Amino acid sequence: MMPTRVALFPYDEELTDNSDFIDELMLVASALQTQVTRDVGPVWGISAVVSAFSSLDLVPADYLPIGITGELLPLNRAGFHYTEAGQPAALIQYCGDWASSASHELIEMLCDPSGTKTVTAPSLGDLKNAAGGRPVVAKEPGDYEEQGLVGYLMEVCDPVEQSTYKIGTVSVSDFVTPDFYVLQQPPESFTRYSFTGRVRAPLELLEGGYITWATQAPNAAVFQAFGRGDGTTPVPTSALEVKRVGAAPQVLSRSWIDANAEAKEEAKAAPCGPAESYVARKPSAKVVGQRAQIAAARDASDSPADLNVMLDLVRRFQGKSFRDDFQRDPTGVLQSLGIPVPSGFPPKGMQLDWELPDREEYQKLQAELEQGHRVGYSFNEPGAIMWLARLPGG
């Protein structure tokens, strides 16, 4: 199966006025690619290629778009995904920890492109009722009725909404695993219910997390459970807040939830504050070292003619007659080839006062040069011929 192609881009042109934004966008796209390939893919059986684009105009038609906007989103949400004409898409507000919001929406888009997948499992309302306490915030008269098996909307980041982890400097969203929805687990089995391991049991919500489900006919309705709190600690089932959102639609979907004023009311909060930057302001020691290596490689390859001269000499040094001639009159040999004679060489007609390295050393050097290896010397430097005639370790 071909991987899904995803585009991360600025929805508002004003964002590109921020000199750091495109750097941040590329860094976040790289982190999201790592997360999808390394973490999400093996768990949920999905694959994707995440690319950063500087403008929506550059995004190919077959890419799923994730736009970053500086404007407020409905209900002050940090991000949401939706489906238009069968194609998933998402908008992320450029504020707060916007990378984890992008990660959240990306994962849910990939796991459920239509936004309509449900997973059948026992009702959290029933489980809370069994643990003690009234599970439903009353919207209508009447007592709570046992729900049995229900269909949970498969939004795999919602139960761990506030839980994140780092990939490099970038925060990404935690997510639940398929086992999260399986109440009965094999005895003494090691089971991971969320990627970070913070969820310790099936259908357990972390603080700030929530989940949505629909009950079965004839009185089908939509319910939500919330784990109240500002951290990432598991919330006991008995402490969950459970409420009825409304009568169930024909198809429960993420779009229906987003359009329902009763759903996820706690999202109507203050804006999430200034956007975090993931670009390091000072280069690390590793970056400094990499820059030095790149500069050295660039300097070594900026005179290909010199490199070709060296390769020709390296090959010649492997022949007996050339070695003998060079040993007797190195200056004369270099002059006959049109190569400048370095200082330290004897005058023309006089022999070397040291022995040339073994021909095997030149064979090794030829292989390294032909493979593009840096060999410790830039061949356009004046001392290159002297270095070649001595070859350290030869």
Q: Cα–Cα distance between 372 and 367 in angstroms, integer?
A: 9
pLDDT tens digits for range 167-179: 999 999 999 999 9
Which one, of 143, 260, 273, lies nearest residue 212 by Cα? 260
Higher pLDDT, 266 or 392: 392
pLDDT at residue 302 in the model: 46
Q: Pairing state of beta strands 149-153 and 210-214?
A: antiparallel
Structure tokens at 344: 């330290």
pLDDT tens digits for range 296-315: 555 544 445 567 778 888 89
Rounded to the nearest 5°, which phi and psi values hold at 217?
-65, 155
SS3 310: helix
Residue 394 confidence (pLDDT) above 80:
no
Q: Are 225 and 128 in contact (CB under 8 A)?
A: yes
The single-letter code of the amino acid at 198 is R
- pLDDT, mean of residues 363-382: 75
Higher pLDDT, 77 or 335: 335
Peptide bond into 218 cis (omega under 30): yes
Please spell the DSSP secondary structure of 88-104, one letter per residue. EEEEEESSSSHHHHHHH
pLDDT at residue 270 in the model: 57
Q: What angle do helix axes 304-316 and 359-370 make, rounded to 10 degrees? A: 150
pLDDT tens digits for range 374-392: 666 666 676 788 888 888 6
Q: Which residues lie below 8 Å from residue 90, measured CB to CB, with a gap of 6+?
A: 65, 66, 67, 79, 80, 81, 82, 102, 105, 106, 109
Residue 325 confidence (pLDDT) above 90:
yes
pLDDT tens digits for range 210-247: 999 999 988 899 999 999 998 899 999 999 999 998 89
Confidence of residue 132 (pLDDT cuts 50, 70, 90): confident
Diameter of the chain by CA atoms? 113
